[in-house]
Chains A and B, each alone.
Chain A
Amino acid sequence: MSEETGYRAHVRAWAVEHHLPEAALNRWIDLGKSDALAILSVAMDLRLRTGQLLTAFEMLAEIGVREGEGAASILARRELRAVTTGSGSRPERARALLDKLRELRYPRLARLRAELEAAVAAMRLPHGLTVVLPKDLGSDEVMIRMTAHSAAELEKLIEALARHKERIKALIETLGGSDGI
């Protein structure tokens, strides 16, 4: 068995075991030995599920196009190595890998989301009052959720909301493309 056939055989074995669609397997093999084996190594180390592998694969491909880099090189980055070889259970590290890949794939979105989440946390809103940011910042809609079990509690939450009104307005402005982005 030639060396190339060897790596293909390993990838194929994983794919068969995990019922990976044929098209995805072909794309994986087409990456070439180094990139394909780098993904296989992570898949085996973290025991990725099929869906996780497909998500990671797609994000690696897209990061690769954005940054002109192959999967092996991306996975060798310090921030990803820290996740794949770090502490934590395998499922935790698998989740962390996907989160980190998402940050690399959507860098400006991830940065803005982190800033907005920090701004919400800094408000220290009382229990029962929640500011919900739009999923993937795909709109400029902020949802404010208030859960009260008594008139007094409702009064307290409304006062808290009034106190934080300006900061929440600033959040909405940022979501709507203010200069902060």
Chain B
Amino acid sequence: MNFDLDCAFIEEEFRDAPIARRVVERLPPHLSVEYIADGREVAKPNLLQADPFAAGKRRLILMRRRSPFLMACPAGGAEFACCGYLVMVLASNCPMDCSYCFLQQYVANNPGFQVYSNYADAFDELQTLSHRAPGRHLRVGTGELADSLAFDSLTDLSLELVDFFARQRNLVLELKTKTDEIENLLRIDPKGQVMVSWTLSPPAVFSSSEHRAATPAQRIEAARRVAEAGYGVAFHLDPVIAYGGAERDYLDLLDDLFAAVAPSRIRFISIGGLRMSPELKAAARRRFPDDPMLVGEEVLSTDGRYRTFTALRTRLFRVLSERIRKHAPGLPAYLCMESAAMSERIFGARPPAPANLGELLASRR
């Protein structure tokens, strides 16, 4: 993808690291690169800018991650039926700019586009995890605090990631993206241990809200290509936004998807409704005051987030799940950040415990 960067910073200790060399070589020649002692200083918001969050996206920082790389999914919670997803934080923030993105709140105090250059430490954490959970299959993703592939043309990180996971038995990597940056993936064999997932939205949401992302058609085409290359693929209809005409558009999107990608290649589909904390809603409205997708019929829900009022949200979930079942009867589908009761209403059965669902999603071939 085309980056819109103002500057790049590299921590001194990584000056000669292969990842730094690759990035410097591939950045536009006019872009200034500064070597610094501590990237945390430049990751902070520049409050002199009109939009410090957007400015952070334009400030690439190659730096050390000083916290563990592995963490529980930030979307998880006791009140939700979760999918047992583990997050591996290799980067923070994203060169795309979706109006509904939770990062606008989540990394507001730390918005620099950080790529953690000591990523090899993450492999040690993964090995430890793998040894501690023998016999269990775990799904580990890099696409929660950043898009998994948006910066791959700069870093080539996917090559090392796929190589590592291809040698694992019980760890499966999920690369989650809204791009079509798959060229590196097509060069290597994942040996069944890597899936690529796309967040999919109808064209109306894409054009209104998903700035700099690949079009829905490009994402589906990329999915078709990586599926043919031996990768598992998965899809996240998330956030489902209940604008006028949404039901028809989302069903068309599913029809387009299943026309392009054989159901047997798809590992799972997740569905999640638009949800925004009051702080996120305020930040998003401030940054995108003209986006109609941010002013749907969301009301304050019992969990303190704005969500589409229950009846409408439930109806959309049900209609979508029925269409998925029609195309692919055995395909696992689950709801993200919804209660077990909602899940039961949609799928007709109580959802499995997170560990069991995680096992199912990680081990499915």
Contacts and interface: CB of A to CB of B under 8 A. Distances in A.
Interface in B265-323: 289-292, 294-295, 297, 299-302, 307, 309-318
A62 B295 contact: yes
B302 A138 contact: yes
B309 A138 contact: yes
Contacts of B317: 177
Interface in A98-114: 105-109, 112
A58 to B, nearest CB: 9
Interface in A55-103: 61-62, 65-66
B365 interface: no
A177 B312 contact: yes
A21 to B, nearest CB: 14
B345 interface: yes
Contacts of A179: 315
A156 B268 CA distance: 52
Contact of A138 (B289, B307, B314, B318): B307
B338 to A, nearest CB: 12
A50 interface: no
B290 A109 contact: no
Interface residues of A, number: 24
Q: Which of B289, B301, B309 has the most CB of A within 10 A?
A: B309
Nearest to A113: B309
B248 to A, nearest CB: 15
Nearest to B307: A138
A138 B310 contact: yes
Contacts of B316: 177
B295 A140 contact: no
Contacts of B301: 138-139
A175 B310 contact: yes
A175 B295 contact: no
Nearest to B302: A139
A176 B314 contact: yes
Given A138-B302, A139-B302, A176 B291 contact: no
18 contacts: A65-B292, A106-B299, A106-B309, A108-B297, A108-B312, A109-B299, A109-B312, A112-B311, A134-B310, A135-B299, A136-B299, A138-B307, A140-B314, A175-B310, A176-B310, A176-B345, A177-B313, A179-B315
Given A65-B290, A177-B314, 6 more contacts: A62-B295, A106-B299, A108-B312, A109-B312, A138-B310, A175-B310
